[in-house]
Amino acid sequence: MFDAGDVKLVVLKLLSEQPSYGYQLIKTMEQRLAGGYAPSPGVIYPTLTMLEEEGLATVSSEGSKKVYSVTPEGLEYLQTNDVRVKELFDRLEEAGRGFQQGRSPEIMKAFKNLHGAVMARMLRGNATPEQISKIAEAMNAAAKTIDEL
pLDDT tens-digit profile of 38-85?
Answer: 888 999 999 999 999 999 999 999 888 999 999 999 999 999 999 999
Per-residue pLDDT for 106 more than 80?
no
113 and 129 fall within a common domain? yes
Per-residue pLDDT of 112-147, as tens digits, reads 889 888 888 888 888 899 999 999 999 989 988 888
Count of structural domains within the chain: 2
Alpha carbons within 13 angstroms on the beta-carbon side of residue 134 total 7
67 and 138 fall within a common domain? no
57 lies in some domain? yes
20 and 78 fall within a common domain? yes
3-state secondary structure at position 62: strand
Which domain CATH number covers 37? Answer: 1.10.10.10
pLDDT at res. 93: 80
pTM score: 0.64
Alpha carbon distance 26, 37 (integer Å) = 9
Domain of residue 128, residue span: 105-147
24 and 85 fall within a common domain? yes
